[in-house]
Amino acid sequence: MSMRISTTAGYILLLLFTGAGLNAQASGDAQSAPTATQDKAATTQEGAAPHKGLQSLWHKSKPVTPPYTLGGVSAGRKHMLEFRTQEEMSNADRELLLNAEGTIEERARFNDFAWNEGQWSLQQAVCPALPKHLIVQFTRNHGKGDVSVFTAVIPRDPQGKIRVIPVERRGYSLWSPAPVNQITINTFNRIRAEEKATTPPDWLTLGLCYASMAGARPKADLIAENQQSETMPMGQPATLVMEKDGREEIEFVDMAALPKPMHWVMSFDMHGKLLKATHKPAAVLKPMKQTQQIVEVP
């Protein structure tokens, strides 16, 4: 885990204290030696709280401890989500999907997805970070340049709201790309609020779940956990960046993205609310074949 700690506030404090010391020295040179009364007053004030202005600045410079964190590394964490076909889904999940089919079709038509034109395939994204919701990706592929994708999020609570997130319609994004779209971000925050989790989920799993809602089937790069499986990651290893003001950022490279790996960054506020997401081509290492040449040394 990496940390970015700003030194600006500390630098301001140093200048203030240095300036105060210089002013005190100049004042002492210009005035006569302190009287007994002044000595007594100075003794009485020793150990007292600093000046109100400096005290206020000192409190402002202290790091903020967020009341809600994104969670640590959970046991059995994986660097990719499991995706299941309709046949592989559990009976309960399959029944939940069938009951929601009418609403999903209505929302798909509302977003101008040609529901009856061609065959739609679906896969469930198994998301441990959002256990109270079923996430299903719908895809219709009519060839290169004519692919439509949307995600349906179905609450397990019968009183919950079924949501459809448009990803791609006939090869084009409806508004802005789903990974960075404010609609996707707001929907994600509402779903997390409905989860009412008592403990924060694994931060990487949470990031992978957001990516799956935006239409990806992500596979993050990680640093090997033991020497036996030590391999050099081709992309940036997944990291949680903790900012001094309480914000947190999830970063990882989706190595499964086509036609090239994609770099995800998700910025959360100190209460765990997603503020912004970025999604752009990633810089990756290219493995090169090394040749050995044996030279005889006399």
| Model pLDDT for residues 219-236, shown as the tens digit of each residue | 997 775 555 555 556 778
* Domain match, 251 and 193 both: yes
Query: Rounded to the nearest 5°, which phi and psi values hold at 6?
Result: -75, 140
Q: Report whether 121 contacts 133 (CB < 8 A).
A: no
Q: What is the pTM of this model?
A: 0.71
pLDDT (0 to 100) of residue 243: 85
Cβ atoms within 10 Å of 224's Cβ, excluding its own: 12
Residue 193 has pLDDT above 70, yes or no: yes
Indicate whether 2 belongs to any domain: no
Are residues 189 and 250 located together in one domain of the fold? yes
Do 91 and 205 fall within a single domain? yes
Q: Are residues 47 and 181 both part of a single domain?
A: no
| Block residue for tokens 């989500």 | 81
Residue for token pair 């609020």: 193
Do residues 55 and 100 share a domain? Answer: no
Domain range spanning residue 158? 82-281
Residue 202 resides in a domain: yes
Residue reference for tokens 């609403």: 103
Q: Which residue has the higher pLDDT, 126 or 37?
A: 126
pLDDT (tens digit per residue) in 251-266: 999 999 988 999 999 9
Whether residue 152 is found in the same domain as residue 239: yes
In a domain, residue 116? The reply is: yes
Q: For position 292, what pLDDT does the model report?
A: 63
Q: Are residues 96 and 29 in the same domain?
A: no
Answer whether residue 143 shows pLDDT above 90: no
pLDDT of residue 29 exceeding 50, the answer is: no
Cα gap 214→167, rounded to integer Å: 6
Do residues 112 and 197 both lie within one domain? Answer: yes
Q: What is the mean pLDDT of the segment spanning 278-288?
A: 80
**How much of the chain, in percent, has pLDDT values that exceed 90?**
47
Query: Is the previous residue joined to 131 through a cis bond, with omega within 30 degrees of 0?
Result: no
- Report pLDDT for 93: 97
Domain membership of residue 218 (yes or no) is: yes
Instruction: Return mean pLDDT, the chain.
Output: 78
For residues 115 and 216, membership in a common domain is answered with yes
Task: Look at residue 198 in the predicted model and tell me its pLDDT.
Answer: 86
Q: Which of 1-5, 16-20, 167-171, 220-224 has the highest mean pLDDT?
A: 167-171
Specify whether the CB–CB gap between 270 and 179 falls below 8 A: no
Instruction: Indicate whether 189 and 253 sit together in one domain.
Output: yes
Question: What confidence tier does 205 reach under pLDDT thresholds 50, 70, 90?
Answer: very high
Euclidean distance between CA atoms 151 and 203, whole angstroms: 21
pLDDT at 157: 95
Which helix (H) or strand (E) segment holds residue 60: the answer is helix 52-61
Number of independent structural domains in the chain: 2
Distance of alpha carbon 66 from alpha carbon 13, whole angstroms: 24
